[in-house]
Amino acid sequence: MSLGLGSPCSLQSECSSIPHSTCIDFQCSCISGYQIREDVCAKKVSKKACTTYKDCDSPRICSTRNTCDCPFTMIESDSGVCLYRETAANQRLIPVSLGSYCSDEIKCSGTSKCLNHLCVCPNGTVEHNSQCMPQMTGQLLLSSNDTVSPCPTDGSCKLPNCFCSKTGMAIPGGFRPKEIPQMVILSFDDAITDRTINIYKSLFNGKHRNPNGCPIKGTFFISHQWNNYDQTQWVHSKGNEIAVNSITHETLSRSTKERWRHEMVGLRDSLKAFSYIEDASIKGIRAPQLLLGGDAQFEMMKENGFLYDNSMSVKEGPVWPQTLDHQLAWDCGEQNCPRKAHKGLWEIPLQLLQANDGIWHTMAKTTIKPYDTRDSVRQMLRRNFYRNYKSNRAPFILTADTDFLTYLPDNGVVHAIEDWLEEILNKTDVYVVTTVQAIQWMSDPSSLSNIEKFRPWQCNVRLNDFIHPCEVSRSEKNNINVVMIIWYGFAYLECSATVTECGRKPM
């Protein structure tokens, strides 16, 4: 009997119907030098090595793998040509490989599936030689002794260190919705660069203020590649929260605890060295591509002083965050979810956003279309906000990145955000806070009538006010290339960013 690629096999002859394939590790797979394309084995297209973008022919860029790859907005065809994704979809291009961008039009190859616009291996399989292979019994992460107990009803899970509920709808402290503030968390992904810093300065220059008179704050999940550490220092100096998204921005869903530590703690150390941000203040993690790393990720977090993860998207809700002492109140989906209890660690779920066409998305960038306007984006934000505000007032989290902020011409998205902020901040019960500030409230809930006395939300003088952010003109900058070489036990990885002379600590 002949089988297709990805099918279980025991003999090479069972894969004979597909040229250039064979039976590898009990699965029909492509032979060396070939890869899956449209369920057949096509010859791999060699890629040029590079160290900077200047080594690559336009429109290719130098990727973190030091090869000339198509940029994010494009996809590589079977012949090795970079095409815009819309063009690729219209031409019904071949399925894409593991780790590639995917959508309703751009399919994943083999047995991999599209999750959060990334081709990943489904549950029960693991990545091996760029293919999804059946997971052997000995590789299972969960044993019969690892079960997590349901949320107790006897009051044994108590704040400030433990919080859960059966449905995820319960409010910490037992308050009614109208008795608490509606928390809004503005979160931003990836590096802070020249392209985004002026946007952040506009949003967080002090003109937008909470009802207690304090400026609004945001949470920035930094990745190392292309990050400007001086600009990161400025963002932090304004009281915003700095969290980590990884050094390489590569998928870590099946990585070891040691790899997670290199990526997250390594970036935290860099932020301390180049942006003067104390490592104790960096409490949060957002997994690259929002793909969880299972118990390896959360064990690393516990061992290295992290407080929360903000990677898990939920379809239900609005739901309140909870600690990982007991079973989650929502469905974790088909990710590499934690299967053990991780006491005291908070999971801050990402509620899906509904676009103007009615489709639900995790990231804000996928909610808007080319025909959207400043007003339509404002309406989208307004509608999603009121879903929380008029129900149980679970924290409303906006997951923005450079693509979202710069999507419309003339800063249309940024103006829409500011219009929306002006509207909601006219209310006396809405506060725009950082993720850590939200956790501080959930750990010690305060009623709306006492919220102006809630110390973690007051705008006291910061202890790092003596540090002046690096604010030099472009012509005065003496840029230093910050190169990070990481040993993963099997390979070295080099990744670079920029810091100027004035961002260096005195010797």
- Residue scoring higher pLDDT (20 or 442): 442
Output the six-digit token pair for 257: 């605890």
| Average pLDDT value for residue range 476-491 | 47
- Percentage, residues of the chain above pLDDT 70: 75
Radius of gyration of the chain (CA): 24
* pLDDT 10s digits, 101-120: 566 666 777 778 777 566 77
Output the six-digit token pair for 73: 């907005």
Domain residue ranges in the chain: 43-134, 172-457, 474-503
Per-residue confidence band for 139, with pLDDT thresholds at 50, 70 and 90: very low
Eight-state DSSP code of residue 475: G
Does residue 156 register a pLDDT over 90? yes
pTM assigned to the model = 0.69
Closest CA to 71 of 62, 79, 182: 62
- Residue scoring higher pLDDT (426 or 126): 426
C-alpha–C-alpha distance, residues 339 and 198, integer Å: 42
Does residue 323 register a pLDDT over 80? yes
Closest CA to 131 of 49, 26, 256: 26
CA dihedral 427, 320, 363, 332 (to 10 degrees): -170
- Residue scoring higher pLDDT (497 or 35): 35
Listed in order, strand segments (DSSP E) in 77-217 are: 82-84, 113-115, 118-120, 125-128, 131-134, 182-189
- Residue scoring higher pLDDT (382 or 25): 382
CA dihedral 463, 440, 219, 202 (to 10 degrees): -70
Per-residue confidence band for 8, with pLDDT thresholds at 50, 70 and 90: confident
Q: Poorest-confidence range of 45-59, 231-245, 281-295, 464-478?
A: 464-478
Does residue 41 register a pLDDT over 50? yes
Burial, 346: exposed, middle or buried (Cβ in 10 Å; 0-12, 13-18, 19+)?
Answer: buried
Concatenate the DSSP letters of all residues of 282-302 into one string: --EE--GGG---HHHHHHHHH
Identify the helix (H) or strand (E) that includes residue 73: none
The answer to whether the beta carbons of residues 320 and 394 sit under 8 Å apart is yes
Say which amino acid occupies 375: D
- Percentage, residues of the chain above pLDDT 90: 56
Q: Is 110 helix (H, G, I), strand (E, B) or coil?
A: coil
Closest CA to 187 of 404, 474, 408, 445: 404
Fold of 172-457: TIM Barrel (3.20.20)
Residue 266 makes CB contacts below 8 A (sequence gap 6+) with 247, 484, 486
Concatenate the DSSP letters of all residues of 159-177 into one string: TTT----SSS-PPGGG--G
Asked if the bond preceding 318 is cis, omega within 30° of 0, the reply is: yes
C-alpha–C-alpha distance, residues 461 and 465, integer Å: 7
Closest CA to 281 of 309, 249, 244: 244
Supply the pLDDT for residue 102: 66
Mean pLDDT of the chain: 83
- Map tokens 């029909």 to a residue: 28
CA dihedral 93, 131, 67, 69 (to 10 degrees): 20
Eight-state DSSP code of residue 204: T
Main-chain phi, psi angles of 202, to 5 degrees: -70, -40
C-alpha–C-alpha distance, residues 202 and 344, integer Å: 36
Closest CA to 264 of 321, 315, 303: 303
| Average pLDDT value for residue range 86-103 | 57
Residue 255 makes CB contacts below 8 A (sequence gap 6+) with 263, 293, 296
Does residue 416 register a pLDDT over 50? yes
- Residue scoring higher pLDDT (414 or 7): 414
Per-residue confidence band for 208, with pLDDT thresholds at 50, 70 and 90: very high
* pLDDT 10s digits, 264-321: 999 999 999 999 999 999 999 999 999 999 999 999 999 999 999 999 999 878 999 9
Q: Any bridge partners for residue 40, and if so which? A: 37
Per-residue confidence band for 421, with pLDDT thresholds at 50, 70 and 90: very high
Main-chain phi, psi angles of 34, to 5 degrees: -130, 155
Per-residue confidence band for 145, with pLDDT thresholds at 50, 70 and 90: very low
Q: Poorest-confidence range of 204-213, 442-451, 468-477?
A: 468-477
- Map tokens 């725009």 to a residue: 432
